[in-house]
Amino acid sequence: MRDKLFYAICFGFIFGVFLRSFVFVNFYIAVFIGALSLVFFLFFTLISKNKWGVIACMFFVFFILGILRFSYSDTKSPEFFESKVGTNVSLTGIIIDEPDIRENNQKLNIKVKEEKDQTEILVTTGLWDEFKYGDEVKIVGELQKPENFTTDTGKEFDYVNYLRKDRILYVMNYSKVETISSGHGFWLRDVLFKIKNKFLEKINYAVSPPESTLLGGLILGERSSFETDLRQKFIDTGTIHIIALSGYNVTIVAEWFMKLFAFLPQNIGIGAGIFAVILFVLMSGANSTAIRAGIMAILVLIARATGRNYDVARALILAGIIMILFNSFIFRYDVSFQLSFIATVAVIFLTPRIEKYFMWVPKKFGLRDIVSVTFSAYIFVLPFILYKMGNLSLVALPANILILPFIPLTMLLGFLTGFFGLFSYFLSIPFGLLSTVLLKYELGVIDVLSNFSFASFSVPNFPLVLTIVIYTYFIYFLFWENIKKFFFHIE
């Protein structure tokens, strides 16, 4: 009964958020249905004693709460800034995130307060000035609303809601930005960003580009310095995940710590892995993407270390609920969250089912585990990638199998390069040289495979109906027994 109530509450809330993200629901109608559900809940609990009635009422109560949570976030745009759209403005605000430095420009997320309204603006400016998290700046330029655009694969990218999930409602392109003062950010994030930048600086001393660029992506998810051509090669070979701040990267770090402490009791090994995750998240700046990746990695770590997959399933759902509570837009509009969640489900539930088909792969260097995990994750996320992004890589599996066995050692050597570089450049050189050898190999594999004419191609109109059918089958394959138990066995 408790398990059924748990799933009814969680899925009721999730479905409520999901429905409201597509359809407007009148506030008073939602409150009326919620109140009616509570009345029936009391009836089934105190008078009728009908357990299915209790479960159904709880589902509808939290379904309404999900609707109300999204409605609360879906507020109107601030009047002051709406009245200034399309005009040249002069505003003052605080940079609330680390600057995103690209090849030809840099993007600043700036919180601005004018009169009674406040908002966040994504400002694009040149590379000639240096800005930091916590700087107070003056912005001069045209205030605009973001617009959706079509990607190279022919897909329309919902740029408006992509920014909106991060509370960014306006953009200012190629604006004049002038620093007024510094030190206005949260002190802990400021310290973390400084540590991260110093760490990357020491890596760059010992490792030359483009190897240093890849190493920064592997260890800290640093992608801003990637050239467009190199980034496209990662996309074409289905290896972009290794330079993204994903649960996969964090899990690798954690598993290395577990292996180092394998001679100790299991609980200490898991604790060491969790410590590694926390360290990784902190070093990357502890932004929302890193925190989500850390949560997913910890859950995968516990599941694979203890074998208690379905206990971890509840924790995974609860983690998703907590994330959606903090930001209800991520469930529909944050592709990173969606991919991370889908891949985590694959690693926890699909990998144990298909491991038997990879007995022919040697266990040496963890190769069998890497192949089965890579295959399950790739197969599970592929329909979603085709629908959302329209990009199909035919070399993704061989690319990942050739590269992933070397990623843990590369990350370890890269970490040691940066760590010893903090104390002495000469101490970091041996680790930097070893890192460079592995990085050259990994970049070489990506370069060779991306040059095949059949490496990848676009699928611009992968149908939503087919995507739903595929995932319905996945759910049936993995969870049908549990679904039957839920509906046909009640204590």
Nearest to 373 by CA among 338, 413, 408: 408
Are 288 and 324 in contact, with CB atoms under 8 Å apart? no
| Whole-number Å distance between alpha carbons of 195 and 205 | 16
Query: Residue 481 falls within a domain, yes or no?
Result: no
Radius of gyration of the chain (CA): 24
According to the model, what pLDDT value does residue 47 have?
A: 82
* CA distances for 294 relative to 279, 462, 471, angstroms: 10, 31, 25
Burial class (CB in 10 A: 0-12, 13-18, 19+), 486: middle
118 and 218 belong to one structural domain: no
* Token pair belonging to 31: 């409150």
**Could you tell me the two tokens for 375?**
């295959």
**What is the rounded CA–CA span in Å between residue 304 and residue 317?**
17
Listed residues 20, 53, 73: the one ending a domain: 73
Same domain, 344 and 420: yes
Residue 12 · residue 66 · CB < 8 Å: yes
Please report whether residue 318 resides in a domain.
Answer: yes
Same domain, 275 and 420: yes
The verdict on 105 and 40 lying in the same domain is no
> Is 222 contained in some domain?
yes
Strands (E), 153-228: 156-157, 168-172, 176-181
The verdict on 163 and 206 lying in the same domain is no
Residues 203 and 280 in one domain: yes
Residues in the chain: 491
Residues 11 and 121 in one domain: no
DSSP label at 357? G
Give the count of domains, the chain: 3
130, 16: one domain: no
111 lies in which domain range? 79-185
Are 173 and 237 in the same domain?
no
Residue 39 to residue 50: CA distance in whole angstroms = 14
Note whether 49 and 144 are same-domain residues. no
- pLDDT by residue for the chain (491 residues), tens only, comes to 777 888 889 899 999 999 998 888 888 999 999 999 988 888 888 887 788 788 888 999 999 999 999 988 887 778 888 888 889 999 999 998 888 887 788 899 999 988 788 899 999 998 888 899 999 999 999 999 998 887 776 677 888 888 888 889 999 998 899 999 998 988 888 888 888 888 888 888 899 888 888 888 877 766 666 677 888 888 888 887 777 666 555 666 666 666 666 666 767 777 777 777 777 777 666 666 677 677 777 776 676 666 665 566 777 788 888 888 888 888 888 887 787 788 778 877 888 888 888 887 777 766 777 778 778 877 888 888 888 877 788 888 888 888 877 887 888 888 889 889 988 888 899 999 999 999 999 999 999 999 888 888 877 788 889 999 999 998 888 888 777 776 766 55
**Could you count the other beta carbons within 10 Å of the beta carbon of residue 156?**
10
- Residue 408, helix vs strand vs coil: helix
Instruction: Based on the fold, state whether residues 161 and 234 are members of the same structural domain.
Output: no
> Does 191 map to a domain?
no
In single-letter form, the type of residue at position 185 comes to G
Helix/strand/coil for 205: helix
Could you give the CA distance from residue 123 to residue 139 in angstroms, rounded to a whole number? 8
